[in-house]
Every structure is written in structure tokens, then in C-alpha cells.
Amino acid sequence: MSRLVAFAAIQGGYNIVSKVEGKYKKALETYSATTKVGFPNTAYYLPVIYSILGMKVETLEDIKKPLDFARKLLPPHVKGKHHLPYLGPLLDAGMAALFAFEIEEALRYLEQPNFYFTSEEVDVDAGKIWLGAADDTVFRKRGVEFVDGTAPGFAAIVGAAPDPETAKMIVEDYQRRNLYIFLAANQNGTTVAQQLIKAGVQIGWNTRIVPFGPDISSAIFALGFANRAAMAFGGIKAGDYKKMLHYNKDRIFAFVNALGDVNAEWAAAAAGCVNWGFPTIADTDIPEILPTGICTYEHVVANIAHKDMVQKSVEIRGLKVSVSTIDIPCSFGPAYEGERVRGPELIAEMGGGKTQCTELVKMAEMSEIEDGKVTVVGPDIDSVKPGTRLPLGIFVQVAGREFQTDFEPILERQIHHLVNYIQGVMHIGQRDIAWVRVGKGAVDKGFTLKHIGVVLHAKFHQDFKKIVDKVQVTLYTNKEDVDKLTTRARAEYRTRDERVEKMTDEAVETYYSCTLCQSFAPNHVCTVSPERTGLCGAYNWMDCKASFEINPTGPNQPIEKGECIDPVLGQWKGVNDFVFKASRGAVKQYNFYSMLKDPMTTCGCCECIAALLPSCNGIMTVNRDYTGDTPCGMKFTTLAGVMGGGASSPGFVGHSKFNITQRKFVNGDGGFLRLVWMPKILKEEIKERIMKRGAELGYPNLYDMIADETVGITEDQIRPFLEEKGHPALSLPPIIS
């Protein structure tokens, strides 16, 4: 009976708005009206209020406007059997409740600054298990996973399961399907987050299980996350609530699981979520709303058994997810990628400085190898003492009619995340500096090193079936075998690096498009050339080439670059034609090597953003992980907000970290020597390459000339430094003519 839901949710809406009005009044009595309020490190203010209403809440007094709006939105109560229609009012009441929740959480950040633990990980020992709002760094990093499809959606779970085991079962099932799990609210003081900790499940952004907060109001953080994705990647303007909510309905596959008794406040929150197209699936006997329309399918579905909860939820939301079924004793999926194996749980460790750990993928003749053969040469870990260290060599041989040696590094790079996907196993690094840790949880379930081979064999076949016909894996754990493999591997790495190094845009006729993120940013289209790697940092030209071979109708399509319109700016007719079509007419042309003239667009998930610094006659760039201020006056997240969503914004360009030291980097604007500022963390990360590229250009000490935040975060602050160091940018022709 929708009427009962409407009755309860409207009542709930009134309760929530009144409660928050009371809290706001109290806050005004305690703090001055100009006191700053907001969530940590975000350029999106209170993101739900900002995105839906276009109202910027920065100070305590700014709260009045949205709170008054929420009050006015509250509809009349549903009265008697001859009631007035209630669907619209119900959704409005829900929206009012959500605005109030966001204000309530902002007030909590003000009044209890330490209530939430601003981190990606929980600190169980310190009792800090509530992470609160994702800041923009976390949001962008995680948002990319939503954009590229590694995370197909999120489940917002409110309340608590009847017991920790049930909570674990549900959440792990979502993990297996790669969804994020956002946790909020409690059931008589019990929360799913606490239940999971009790059941030994690692929670935090790294395992995709995010404990937002213990109250229903903290569920607002999930919606704030979704709406920021719509603004950052979808290019939806703040205040354009119609587009915002439709974007969510069509592209963000989220839903609510209500575990335990549903009270009026929960009903209001659920009604609010329906505005987003996010349905509620409950384990209790609440009134259902089955007809479709606002959500893609049902709106409220009740009485779902815990064992069916995940399957039902995904179906009701209309989401297709594939579960990798790999014959290993542990769970497997991206959700386990960020899981840690810490000291006390450690059974065996390979690499990480203490022993050698090397990975190599090599092409083989079809007749040379046996598909599916996995051999462990040397001791395995099924019989070792906790804390054992072993050397490890992972040698994968691949054969296939379509396989090329160029694809070797692409497959090899998969080893990192594929091994990490195994629950209870952690993988860091790559090539000859790999590091594998295996925890007790995995070993108890029967995991052995052999299973690494099983995973690689299965996943290479699944993900690269077009180019892979046979996969054979050998795992070495004797020192001499590993050393031998390492010597061979290093020679291979060198050859590969040289080959990539030599590749130029001029040398190829075909570039590749990348529309991987069009699910989120429908107007954006990347073009990837050898010297302009994908701006998200995840795809280089070679990857795109392989991806096309693997999936000829997929997101990477070859583009005949065609007639060169401008070699300095990097513009080709073939590319323009493609971009015009693929961006659905939104972008007519762009340049590969310029940030000033028709720069390439970004969906908002670029690794770095370069910006013009006119009075330094140069440019700066800032990476996503750096949250501080920059000399262009904007933080990364503000910059990304300015230029995300597929718009070409002269003066700014998105690029990958790797691209900075590629030879064509902003060549049209004067090139690498224009770079006068970057965050220290980024500078250090690519130090070697900066020095190398600087030397190539005749400035072997360029690394020391580039300013960072320790020098200053305004143009005025860094200019004297540049002059003192004699930065070449100062003597280049004026950047703005």
C-alpha cells in the first residue's frame, strides 16, 4: 500500500525537517552566522543541496535558504480514505528530508569535528569506524571506477542484519559483483559496519565497503557521492535538478537495502532516494510500491530473504553484473583489490625487498605450451609457518593466433590487479619489484601459490579471449630459478621500454579513440596517440590497440588520423571528424599538444590538470591526489569541476602523469619547458623522467627549477624562485600573444 508509505514518509519528512530546524537554531545561538560549514575538501559545497538546488552553503547563515526550501517542500499530510494524490507529495517529502539530512551532517561536522574519521580506511582499534563524506580526492579516485565500469554501481545498506554472519554474506556477495557498499544508520544501535568488523571483514574505501555513519542522516553521503559524479563526469550543471536526477536514474546503478524495521525517517529517506531512481529493497514486511516510472523498475520491494537480497536488488535496479567464477577457494573481484594483509595475519610474503619477486609474460608458440597447465616449481605455501618469506617468479606464457609481442606488457600489467582481486592476497608493484603477501584468511580456505596461476589462466582467457588461445603459468619459488627468470625478464623490460620510447605520433597512421567513460560523460571522447597517452593514465596507445583487437566494437576504435591540419598544435582532419561524431556534435575539433587553443576534452577523470600561469609565462600542473591550493587559484577538484564533462576549456587541459614527460607535451604552447609548478608529491614521483626529459632539452637541472607548494602557491610567490633559478619558461616567447 503506497498510501501507508506516503503517510509514513510525509510524517517522517516533517519530523526530520523540524528536528534539523531545531539543531540549526541551536547552532545559530552557539556560533556566529558567518562560521564556515561544509564537508571536508570538496568543491561541491553540500553536494546534494548544491547539485539539486544550485545553492552554495558555505557559512552557517547560508543554511537558512535550503532549510526554508525543505520546509516549504513539505506537502500536506495524507488524510483519510478520500485522500488527495500522494506520489508527488511523497517524493517531495523525501527530498525535503534529504536536504535536512545534509544540513544535519554539516552541523555535525561543525559541532563534532572529530565525529568522522577523514580517511579512506577505518581505525578499528581507535574506534574510528565512521568515515563521513568522501572528500573530492577519494570521490575522484573512486569515481573513475564507476566511470570505467570497474564498479557497476553501489548498494546503500541502512540498518543492521540480524547477525554478523548475514551481514557478511550480503556484503561479500556485493563485493563479488564489484559493487561499492555504502553503510549508514543503525537498528537499535547495531550497525552493519560493526557487524562486519565482528565477522572479520575489512571495511573502508579500499575494500569498497564504506561505513559512512551510524545514523540515517549519513546516508546522504551516498547521494552526495552520486551527484558529484554527475557534475564531475556527466557535466551536469548545479541546479539542473531534472538532468541531475535523470543522469542518476540512467547511469548510476545504485539502490537501497533496508535491513530491519523501517521507521518514518527511513521511509522519508527511501522516498527521497526514489527521486534519484534508486529503489529500496527491504528484508521486512513493509508496503511495496511495484509500478515503475520514477525508478526504472520497482520502487519499494519488501520481504526479501537475506540469501536473495543481492540478486533481487541488482535485478530490481536493472543492473547486469558478471561474477567471475574462478576455481579457487577464495572470493575474487575488484572489491578485494584494496584489501590489506597486515603483519598479524601474514602467512607468507614474496618480494617486497626481502626476497626477489619477478613477473614476466612472454609470447609462446602454440605447440610450445599446454593451456591451463600451472606448475609450482619449488615449495608452495600450504605447509609453511606463518611469516615465511619466499622468492617468487611468475612466468606466464601465452600463445594465440592473434597474439603479438606488443601485447605482452599489457597482459603482464594485469597481474597486479588480478592477484590483488583474490580475497586475502595482496599485491604491490610490478615487473621485478613485485610484492605478494598472503594472509591467514586465504590460507585457511586452502589458498596456495598455484591458485595465482589458476587466476591468471582463467582471467587472461576471459578478458583477452580474442587474442589468447593458450596460457601456461609457471611459478618458481627456488632462488636460483627466480634469479634466472629475473635476469631474462630485465632484458625483456629493457627491449620493451626502448620500443615504447621510440614510438612517435608521426610514425603511426592510426590513433585510437577511447569512449570507455561515455557511460558517464556522454559528450567526452579521448583520442590516444603514442605521444598523448590517455588522460586518465590507464590507457596508452598500445593498450588501446590491444583493446581494439580484443573487442573490435568496443570503446577503443581506430581513427585514421588523416590529413595533418597543424603539426605543432597536433590537429588532424580524421581525428576531428571522428570526435565530432563521437561527441554527438558537442566538440568540433581539438588539438593534441595545446592547452591554449582547442585543448582536448576531459570527462573529469584525468590524472592531472595543467593550467596557464600568465605572469610566470608558463604553466602548472596538479595531480588528483594533491588537495592543496595551487598558483592558478584553484584546487584540483575545482579545476576538474570547471572543465569536466566533456567541455573544451582553453587555458586548461587534462593529461596523465606519464604524458608530462612525453615529447609532445603542450608542444603547441612551448612544450615541457613551460612547466613552472607542480605538487611536490608528483614531482618526486616522476623525478627520474623529469630529469631525463630536461636533459634532452638542454636543462639537466630542470627538476630543481620547477617550483612546488613549498616554494609557494601563488604566482607572486613562485615568480622570484623561477627568476633565481633561471627557469627557461621566463625567456620563452610570451605565452599569451
Partner 1 sequence: MAEEKVVKVKEKKVANPEEVTIDPATKQMLKRAQELGIETVFDRAENLKPCNIGIQGTCCKNCAMGPCRLPLTKSVTEGEDDRKGLCGATPNTIAARNFARMVASGAAAHSDHGRSVAEVFLSVARKETKDYKIKDEGKLLAIAPHFGVETTVEVDGKIMDRSIDEIALEVAEKAYAEWGKPEGELYYLKRAPQPLYERWKKLGELPRNIDREIVEIMHRTHMGVDQDYKNLIKQCTRASLGDGWGGSMIATDLQDVMFGTPSPLQSEANLGIMKTDQVNIIIHGHEPILSEMIVAASQTKEMLDYAKTKGAKGIQLGGICCTGNEILQRHGVPPAGNFLQQELAIVTGACDAMVVDVQCVFQNLANVAKCFHTKLITTHRIAKMEQDNVIHIQFDEHHAMEDAKRIVRLAIDNFPNRKNVMIPKHKAVQIAGFGVESIQYHLGGTFRGSYYTLNDNIINGRIRGIAGVVGCNNARTKHNEQHIVLVKELIKNDVIVLSTGCNGITCAMEGLLSPETAQVFCGPGLAEVCETVGIPPVLHMGSCVDNSRILLAATEVVKAGGLGKDICDLPAAGAAPEWMSEKAISIGQYFVASGVYTLFGLMLPVDGAPVFQNYLFKEVEKIYGGKWDVEPDPIKMAQKMIAHIDKKRKALGIDKARERVLMDMEARRQLEA
Interface with partner 1 (CB under 8 A): 1-3, 6, 52, 73, 78, 81-92, 95, 149, 152, 241-242, 245, 250-251, 253, 274-275, 289-294, 297, 299, 314-315, 318-322, 515-516, 518-519, 522-523, 554-555, 584, 586
Task: Give least dist CB 347 to partner 1, A.
Answer: 36
Instruction: Round to whole Å and give the CA distance between 651 and 369.
Output: 53
For residue 193, what is the enclosing H or E element?
helix 192-198
Question: Do 338 and 206 contact (CB within 8 A), yes or no?
Answer: yes
Amino acid at 514: C
Instruction: Round to whole Å and give the CA distance between 193 and 499.
Output: 49
> Which residue, 88 or 113, is less far from partner 1 as judged by CB?
88
CA dist list (Å): 83 to 22, 87, 546:
30, 12, 62
The sheet carrying 510-514 orders its strands as: 526-528, 510-514, 558-560
> Which residue, 66 or 522, is less far from partner 1 as judged by CB?
522
What does the DSSP 8-state code read for residue 134? P
Cell 588522460, located at residue = 535
> Which residue, 58 or 315, is less far from partner 1 as judged by CB?
315
> Which residue, 519 or 637, is less far from partner 1 as judged by CB?
519
Task: Give least dist CB 99 to partner 1, A.
Answer: 11
Mind spelling out the 3-state secondary structure of 575-601? HHHHHHHHCCCCCCCCECCCCCCCECC
Task: Give least dist CB 322 to partner 1, A.
Answer: 8
Instruction: Round to whole Å and give the CA distance between 418 and 426.
Output: 10
Task: Give least dist CB 484 to partner 1, A.
Answer: 41
For residue 559, what is the enclosing H or E element?
strand 558-560
Cell 526504472, located at residue = 296
Question: Do 528 and 547 contact (CB within 8 A), yes or no?
Answer: no
Instruction: Round to whole Å and give the CA distance between 328 and 421.
Output: 12
> Which residue, 33 or 290, is less far from partner 1 as judged by CB?
290
Torsion sign (Cα): 719, 723, 725, 726: positive
> Which residue, 240 or 382, is less far from partner 1 as judged by CB?
240
> Which residue, 70 or 426, is less far from partner 1 as judged by CB?
70
> Which residue, 525 or 705, is less far from partner 1 as judged by CB?
525
Task: Give least dist CB 290 to partner 1, A.
Answer: 6
> Which residue, 76 or 726, is less far from partner 1 as judged by CB?
76
For residue 173, what is the enclosing H or E element?
helix 164-176
Task: Give least dist CB 167 to partner 1, A.
Answer: 26
Cell 509500478, located at residue = 291
Task: Give least dist CB 287 to partner 1, A.
Answer: 10
> Which residue, 91 or 134, is less far from partner 1 as judged by CB?
91
Task: Give least dist CB 277 to partner 1, A.
Answer: 8
Torsion sign (Cα): 155, 157, 161, 165: positive
CA dist list (Å): 532 to 187, 369, 535, 540:
52, 36, 8, 8
What does the DSSP 8-state code read for residue 332? B
Task: Give least dist CB 70 to partner 1, A.
Answer: 11
Task: Give least dist CB 173 to partner 1, A.
Answer: 17
CA dist list (Å): 133 to 117, 240, 312, 428, 624:
10, 22, 28, 28, 18
